[in-house]
Structure 1
Amino acid sequence: MTSPEVDPAEGNPRGQAALLGPIEVRALAEELGVRPTKQLGQNFVHDANTVRRIVTTAGVGRDDVVLEVGPGLGSLTLALMDVVASVIAVEIDPVLAARLPTTAAERAPELADRLTVVGADAMKVMPADLPAAPTALVANLPYNVAVPVLLHLFSEFPSLRTALVMVQAEVADRLAAVPGNKIYGVPSVKARFFGEVRRAGAVGRQVFWPVPKVESGLVRVDRYAEPPWPIDEEHRHRVFAVVNAAFAQRRKTLRAALATWAGSPAEAERRLVAAGIDPSARGETLDAAAYVRLAEVEPLDPIG
């Protein structure tokens, strides 16, 4: 057994947070009168090895300001506090948000000042709502809004360099799918607009309370160090509009699927050819770069 690493700047021992186990999770929930709700996607992790593995896979360290969405009772939060500069936990449930600082003070008193809790909806949170610019997202995302939350945060927080999120296994597969795969779709393309995406592991059902009915998986997103295309809001909306249209009728050729978006089948074909794309191809065969090229083709007769 090795000695805990010491933070050279502050002298705080690392690895000293008392992580939550099944007994502690249930006791906290009972104390707060919390009954996990499907509406908020609440399933609390109670396995210390799992949260340590998530932190290790995330690759975060002492220079990172980590954004955690949906910290719940604090299982992952405590593990993150051991190794990063600070954790900004965004929690929509006011009861859970109010209790988390106390849990941190009780179970990691030397590290408690590394935690800031923000009571907010992750789908609406903006940089001005946070005390610092986060460098990494590490979270067990609420499964019912996982993809919208992930895309919103990468859109609004350019400081995020990386993300390691736990989501429903099926969603993880879709996010990490590559062109030509039958499950490749809108989430796959939009996530790759921001960075490289890969599956980063599986998580068993038994590490949660209550035990979910679905399997879980880890997905890692690493933002492009040098974006291969503009990522401003206007450009992003243009690209995402094409992606939405292409997959709304995924069985159709792109010439047909994009007819409404372009104004007519003929205009859709013209733009596809201009972007170097076969009009008879289908949406699931194009990578993110192809969608960006297509979005950048100007209309034949621009309006306004």
Structure 2
Amino acid sequence: MKLTSARELKNLLDQYGFSFSKSLGQNFLIDQNIVDKIVDQGQIQGENILEIGPGIGTLTYSMAQKAKKVLAIEVDESLREILAYTLGEFSNVKVHFADVLKTNIEEVTREYFGDEPFKVVANLPYYITSPILIYLLKSQANISEIIVMMQKEVAQRIVADKTKKEYGSISVFISYFGPAGILMNVPKTVFMPQPKVDSAVVKIKIAREDRPLTIEDLERVLRAAFGQRRKTILNSLSKGLDLEKSFVEGVLKDLDLPTTYRAENLSLDDYLLLGEKLLDHGGKNV
């Protein structure tokens, strides 16, 4: 069974009367080289894997041959029979039909993986990439790494540092959890149906370390800073956190940060130090 063969894929979908759903952003991989690279660079040998959106099981099939266990969460019930056929030979694969954003991810992964860590590997629909990433990162699930394919432009924003034009609040947010990098670029031609844009595979290594600021407080600071990103950081933080401008100015100077900086000029460490000092002063919820 060659699930990356366009001809075999079409025959399989016709056999089960499957139609692609635009609303679910379904685009299936039809390039075995890309699948192999994801499996190889994801280093999934002997690992527990959570896959989101397995589709017909193309990536799942290859991962199941090397992984310890694979738990695949799929929202499209019409794929139930197809997945039973394509993955039926594997005793280490479980398909859970649900909307991942409405799933207690800690509960379902603990039920399947126990207390063992797991990696997330997924080809995420473009329209819901950020919400899924944020949900996973903010969960208490025992995730060690996240390896996901997404729209190339979104990937560039996620991995950008403050020297790049793509740098923004999502860049800072993701870096809070650990280092992120692009493993490979993926052309739009390797999907069926073919999307309008190219993709990239991003790897986020989850760093379990203490931070001087909670993620909720960091989000407050980022909303204030990037919500008015055309303003100086002095003005945006003063207004966004409802703080006296003179106080914010003093904190910036204490940290050797120019008051003329804008949101995109600050690193994660800058935001952590700023947040710690500003919110201790009583910044209100924003």
- Whether TM-score is above 0.5 comes out as yes
Asked if the contact 1:255–1:265 (Cα under 8 Å) also holds between the matched residues in 2, the reply is no
Partner Cα distance (1:52, 1:222) in 2 = 20
- The equivalent residue for 1:173 is 156
TM alignment of 1:1-304, pairs within 5 A: 19-62=3-46, 64-105=47-88, 109=89, 112-125=90-103, 126-130=105-109, 131-132=112-113, 135-224=118-207, 226-229=208-211, 235-264=214-243, 266=245, 267-273=247-253, 276-297=256-277, 298-301=279-282
Flag the 1:193–1:74 CA change in 2: closer, same or farther, 3 A: same
* Cα shift at 1:27: 2.4
Say what the alpha-carbon RMSD is for the aligned residues.
Answer: 2.3
Which consecutive residues of structure 1, in runs of 5 or more, have no partner in the other structure? 1-16
In 1, the alpha carbon distance for the partners of 2:212 and 2:45 equals 29
What letter corresponds to residue 92 of structure 2 in structure 1? R
TM-aligned CA deviation for residue 299 of structure 1: 4.2
| Corresponding letter in the other structure for 2:266 | L
Distance in 2 of aligned mates of 1:301 and 1:68: 41
Distance 1:301 1:243 in 2: 16
1:107-142 alpha-carbon deviations (Å, 9 max, x no partner): xx2xx1111111122223221133225510111011
Identity of aligned residues (%): 31
Name the amino acid aligned to 2:281: L
In 1, are the aligned partners of 2:158 and 2:174 still within 8 Å (CA)?
A: yes
**Does the 8 Å contact 1:252/1:282 carry over to 2?**
yes
**1:189 partner letter:** V
Q: Provide the rounded CA distance (Å) in 2 between the counterparts of 1:293 and 1:91.
A: 40
1:257 shift after superposition: 1.6
**1:156-201, Cα deviation, whole Å (9 max, x unpaired):** 1441111211111101111111113111012211110101011111
Give the structure-1-normalised TM-score.
Answer: 0.84
How far apart, in 1, do the equivalents of 2:170 and 2:80 lie? 29
Q: 1:115 to 1:157 in 2, by over 3 A?
A: farther
The CA distance in 2 between the partners of 1:28 and 1:190, in whole Å, is 41
CA deviations over 1:263-289 (Å, ceiling 9, x no partner): 045144344445553332111121112
Structure 1 Cα separation of the partners of residues 172 and 26 of structure 2: 27
Q: Which runs of 5+ in 2 are unaligned?
A: none
Cα offset, 1:18, TM superposition: 5.1
CA spacing shift, 1:55–1:49, aligned 2, 3 Å: same
